[in-house]
Chains A and B, each alone.
Chain A
Amino acid sequence: MALAHELLRSGFPYYMTLGQRRVTSNPVDIGFGKENVYVLTKGGLGTEVRVINWEDENLGVLGGTDLFQWPAALLVDSEENLIVSDEAKHTVVTMDKDGNHLETWGVKGDGEGELDRPSGMSFDSEGNIVLSDTMNNRVQRFTRSGEHLQTIGVGDLDSPWGVAVDQLDNVYVVDWKNDRIVKYSRDGDLVMTLGSSGSGKGEFNRPSSVAVDNHGDIYVCDRQNNRVQLFNKEGKYIQSFHGNASLSKSGQTYILANAVTLRLRAMSDVEKTQLLDVPMTIRVDDDFRLFITDFGNHRIQIYKKDAIELSQDQIAPEMRNPILFTT
C-alpha cells in the first residue's frame, strides 16, 4: 500500500479517556480485541492485564505475577491471544483471552536468539515479533513460537526500549539511553535517526515508545519530558501532545459518588489533571487513533487524527525556502 503523498492536517483533537486508579492502575501498554480493551499494568497496584470495554467498564483481570514479573509490552493477535514480554524473567508469554497460559519462550543470555530483558514488541507484516533485547543492545525478530529469525541494530543502540514496524516493514527502535529513534529497513540497514537529548522540539529525554501510523507518521513517547511528539515520515517535527484528558466515564461515576472529592475538584486546578504524567507506551490503530498509556495518572488518553490525504497534483511542489508573501 502506497503512503499518501502529503496530508492536509486538519488537527489531532483529543478523543476520550479510559480507566482510573485501581482499575487501569499503572498502565504500561494497551492492546485491542474485537470488543475489549486490554491494558497491561505493572506496579504496586497490580501487575496484570486489566480488561475493560469502550464503555469504560471493568471486566476483570488476566495473567498476573505468576506469569510475568516485569511486563514491558503487550501484543494482541488476530485470534485475540495476548503476548507479554517480561524483563525480569527474560521471556515472552502467550495467553488466550480468558487468561489461560498457552506458551512461554525465552532464555537469558547474549547468544543469538537469547534475551536479556526483552521489552518493546511489535508485529511485522507476517505476524512475526520484533522484540527489543534491551541489555544486549539489539533488536531481534522471532516467529510467534520464539524461533530466531534476525538480529538488528548491533553496535547502534544503548538499552533499546519500544519498537514499531510500519506498513513497509521498516523497523523503528527507541534507542533509549541515546535519546533517539533509529529506523531500519526490513533487512536491518540503518535508514534514519531521529532526535537528540533535550527538551526542545524534536529532542527527547529518555523516550520509551514509538509508533507509526498508516500515513507513515512517527509518534514518539518522550517519557521524561511528559509528552508525545509527532513527526512526519521524513522525520519533520509536526506537533506535541502534552495531555488534554477529561474525566473517564468511571472517573465521573466515582467523583459523583463522593461529595468531598467533588468539592476538592472544585477547589483545585483542573488544568494540571489533564496533562500526561510519565507516558509509557503509545499505540496507533487503523482509524488513526493515538492511545497513550498515561502511567502516572492510571489512565489511557486517546486522540484522533483529522487529516485529508492529498495526491501529488493537489499540492504545490516542495519549496526550498520560506516566503512571507502569501495570498
Chain B
Amino acid sequence: MATTTKKDPVFVVVQLSGGNDFMNTVIPYTNPLYYDNRTFLNIPEEDVLPLDSTLGWHPEMGPFKELYDRGMVAIVQGIGYPDSNRSHFRGMDIWHTCTPDEVSTIGWLGNTIEQLDPTGENPLTGINFGVGLPKAMTKAGVPVTSVSNLDNYGLMSGITAEDQKDEALQIFKNMYGQAVGTGPVMDYLSRTGNDVLTGADIIKVAPERYESTVEYADSPIGKSLRDVARVHTADLGTRIFYTQQGGYDTHANQLPTQPGLFKDLARAVNDFFADLEEHDADDNVIMLIFSEFGRRIADNGSGTDHGSGGGAFLVGKPVDGGLYCEYPSLERDRWAKGEDLEHTIDYRGIYGTVLEQWLGLEAAPIVQGTFEQINPFKTN
C-alpha cells in the first residue's frame, strides 16, 4: 500500500523472562568443566546438536539451529553487565532502562520510539503483545500500544456481540466528545478516550488483512509472534515490537522444564520467519532474544540458580549469522561472584549495535554511554 521505496527497519524484541540458562542453550559440550559443574543438569554430548567442534545447541533448539544453519542467527555469547543484579525485577529493570546504578522509570525503547516518532503521531510505532506494558517501552508522553488479544483489541472488548459493541463504542465516543470548559482533566480524558478509539480502529485491519499458509505451533509465544507478523505485514508503521516468553526461572525441575520452553520458542521463531518470508516482509526485520541474566555455573541437583552472564540472539535475514563475542570461561578463577559466568560483552553495546547499525539512531543518549558494539549485519 505505501509507496515508500525503502522499507523502514523494524525491530522485534523477545524477552525470555526468568533468566535463561545459557549454558544449556548453547552448550560447551566438549569442555570437561561443563560436565564437572553440571553433574546433574548436563546435556549428554550425544544429544547436543553441534554447531561447531566445541559448542552445540540444546536438542530442542532444532528449528532454531535450522535458522542458524541458514546464516540468520548471530549468537551473542557472554552478554551481561558488571556486577549483575540477580533479582528478576531489578535485573529486568536494568535491561529495560539501561541504568544499572539507579532506578529509572524511562525505558530504552520508550526513548527509541520517541526518536522514531518524535511527535507521537502513530500510537502503533511501538506495540507490546502481552498483559501490561514492559518498562522498556515506557516513557511519559510517548504513546505506545499494548495488546493482549489482537483479535479483540480496544475498548468494550468484553462485549462479544459485534453490533452491541459498536453501539457501546458509539455511545462512548459521544460521552467522551469534547466538552467545553469542564476542566483540564476532563478534557484530557476526552482526548485520551478518542485516541484509544482511533488506535483500535487502525489496528483492527491487521487481523482482517492477514492470510498465511504458515501454521504456528500452538504455544503462547507462537501466538504472540503470529500477532507480530499480522501487524507487521499489515504495514501500520510499527517499528518496535515487544513480546515475551515466561518460565525460565528454573531453580528446580530444569531438566523437564527447559526443553518445553525451547521447543515452543524455537518453533515459534522459525514459524515467524517463515511467515515473513512468505509475505516477502523479512528484509527489514530483525529480532533480539534476551533474558535478564544467565544462571549459575554449578547446578543445584535439580535446577540452576540466578547467575550473571548469559547469551542473546539476533535473528533475521539481514543478520550475518555466526558466533559473536567470547564464550565466558568455565575456569573457576574467572567466575563472576565466585559462581557465575562472567559477561564478555555489555548488553548496552548490543542495544547500541541495533540502534546505530539497524535503526540509524544515535545510541549514546539512549543507552547512557558508549559501549563496545559488534557488527552482526550483512553489508550490501
A interface vs B, CB < 8 Å? 20-23, 58, 60, 250, 253-254, 257-260
The answer to whether A23 and B305 touch across the interface, beta carbons within 8 angstroms, is no
Answer whether residue B303 sits at the interface, using C-beta atoms and an 8 A cutoff: yes
Answer whether residue B251 sits at the interface, using C-beta atoms and an 8 A cutoff: yes
The answer to whether B252 and A258 touch across the interface, beta carbons within 8 angstroms, is no
Give every chain A residue within 8 A of B253 (Cβ-Cβ). 22-23, 58
The answer to whether B301 and A254 touch across the interface, beta carbons within 8 angstroms, is yes
Q: A58-B302, A257-B305 are in contact. List 14 more A-B contacts (CB 8 A).
A: A21-B252, A22-B251, A22-B252, A22-B253, A22-B302, A23-B252, A58-B252, A60-B256, A253-B302, A254-B301, A254-B302, A257-B299, A258-B339, A259-B339
- Shortest distance in angstroms between B35's beta carbon and chain A's nearest beta carbon? 15
Candidate in B253, B301, B305, B338 with the most chain A CB atoms within 10 angstroms: B301
Question: 4 shortest A-B CB distances, which residue pairs?
Answer: A253-B301, A22-B252, A257-B300, A254-B300
Would you list 21 pairs from A and B whose C-beta atoms are within 8 A, ordered by A residue? A20-B252, A22-B252, A22-B303, A23-B252, A23-B253, A58-B252, A58-B253, A58-B302, A60-B256, A250-B301, A250-B302, A253-B300, A253-B301, A254-B252, A254-B302, A257-B298, A257-B299, A258-B300, A258-B305, A258-B339, A259-B339
- Shortest distance in angstroms between B155's beta carbon and chain A's nearest beta carbon? 31
Give every chain A residue within 8 A of B300 (Cβ-Cβ). 253-254, 257-258
The answer to whether B252 and A257 touch across the interface, beta carbons within 8 angstroms, is no
- Shortest distance in angstroms between A20's beta carbon and chain B's nearest beta carbon? 7
Give every chain A residue within 8 A of B256 (Cβ-Cβ). 60
Within the assembled complex, what's the spacing in Å between the Cα atoms of A250 and B253? 12
- Shortest distance in angstroms between B332's beta carbon and chain A's nearest beta carbon? 12
Answer whether residue B296 sits at the interface, using C-beta atoms and an 8 A cutoff: yes
Within the assembled complex, what's the spacing in Å between the Cα atoms of A260 and B302? 18
Within the assembled complex, what's the spacing in Å between the Cα atoms of A23 and B255? 13
Within the assembled complex, what's the spacing in Å between the Cα atoms of A146 and B8? 65
Within the assembled complex, what's the spacing in Å between the Cα atoms of A250 and B339? 20
Interface residues of B, count at CB 8 A = 14
Within the assembled complex, what's the spacing in Å between the Cα atoms of A80 and B301? 28
Give every chain B residue within 8 A of A60 (Cβ-Cβ). 256
Which residues, 285 to 324 on B, are CB-close (under 8 Å) to A?
296, 298-303, 305
Within the assembled complex, what's the spacing in Å between the Cα atoms of A20 and B251? 11
Which residues, 145 to 161 on B, are CB-close (under 8 Å) to A?
none
- Shortest distance in angstroms between A99's beta carbon and chain B's nearest beta carbon? 14
Within the assembled complex, what's the spacing in Å between the Cα atoms of A257 and B299? 7
Which residues, 251 to 290 on B, are CB-close (under 8 Å) to A?
251-253, 256
Within the assembled complex, what's the spacing in Å between the Cα atoms of A22 and B338? 25
Give every chain B residue within 8 A of A257 (Cβ-Cβ). 296, 298-301, 305
- Shortest distance in angstroms between A153's beta carbon and chain B's nearest beta carbon? 41
Give every chain B residue within 8 A of A253 (Cβ-Cβ). 300-302
Give every chain A residue within 8 A of B303 (Cβ-Cβ). 22
Give every chain A residue within 8 A of B298 (Cβ-Cβ). 257
Give every chain B residue within 8 A of A259 (Cβ-Cβ). 338-339
Give every chain A residue within 8 A of B299 (Cβ-Cβ). 257
Within the assembled complex, what's the spacing in Å between the Cα atoms of A180 and B252? 39
- Shortest distance in angstroms between A251's beta carbon and chain B's nearest beta carbon? 9
Within the assembled complex, what's the spacing in Å between the Cα atoms of A115 and B250? 39
Please name the residue on chain B nearest to A252 by beta carbon: B301
Give every chain A residue within 8 A of B251 (Cβ-Cβ). 21-22
Give every chain B residue within 8 A of A58 (Cβ-Cβ). 252-253, 302
Give every chain A residue within 8 A of B302 (Cβ-Cβ). 22-23, 58, 250, 253-254
- Shortest distance in angstroms between B301's beta carbon and chain A's nearest beta carbon? 3
Give every chain A residue within 8 A of B339 (Cβ-Cβ). 258-260
- Shortest distance in angstroms between A69's beta carbon and chain B's nearest beta carbon? 20
- Shortest distance in angstroms between B91's beta carbon and chain A's nearest beta carbon? 15
Please name the residue on chain B nearest to A23 by beta carbon: B252
Give every chain B residue within 8 A of A254 (Cβ-Cβ). 252, 300-302
Within the assembled complex, what's the spacing in Å between the Cα atoms of A76 and B256? 25
Give every chain B residue within 8 A of A260 (Cβ-Cβ). 339
Please name the residue on chain B nearest to A22 by beta carbon: B252
Within the assembled complex, what's the spacing in Å between the Cα atoms of A258 and B304? 10
Candidate in A22, A23, A250, A257 with the most chain B CB atoms within 10 angstroms: A257
Please name the residue on chain B nearest to A255 by beta carbon: B300
- Shortest distance in angstroms between A253's beta carbon and chain B's nearest beta carbon? 3
Give every chain A residue within 8 A of B252 (Cβ-Cβ). 20-23, 58, 254
Within the assembled complex, what's the spacing in Å between the Cα atoms of A258 and B253? 17
Within the assembled complex, what's the spacing in Å between the Cα atoms of A60 and B302? 11
Which residues, 187 to 219 on B, are CB-close (under 8 Å) to A?
none
- Shortest distance in angstroms between B211's beta carbon and chain A's nearest beta carbon? 33
Within the assembled complex, what's the spacing in Å between the Cα atoms of A259 and B300? 11
Give every chain B residue within 8 A of A22 (Cβ-Cβ). 251-253, 302-303
- Shortest distance in angstroms between B250's beta carbon and chain A's nearest beta carbon? 9
- Shortest distance in angstroms between B308's beta carbon and chain A's nearest beta carbon? 13
Within the assembled complex, what's the spacing in Å between the Cα atoms of A253 and B305? 13
- Shortest distance in angstroms between B246's beta carbon and chain A's nearest beta carbon? 13
Give every chain B residue within 8 A of A23 (Cβ-Cβ). 252-253, 302
Within the assembled complex, what's the spacing in Å between the Cα atoms of A21 and B253? 11
- Shortest distance in angstroms between B23's beta carbon and chain A's nearest beta carbon? 14
- Shortest distance in angstroms between A296's beta carbon and chain B's nearest beta carbon? 18
- Shortest distance in angstroms between B240's beta carbon and chain A's nearest beta carbon? 32
- Shortest distance in angstroms between A31's beta carbon and chain B's nearest beta carbon? 21
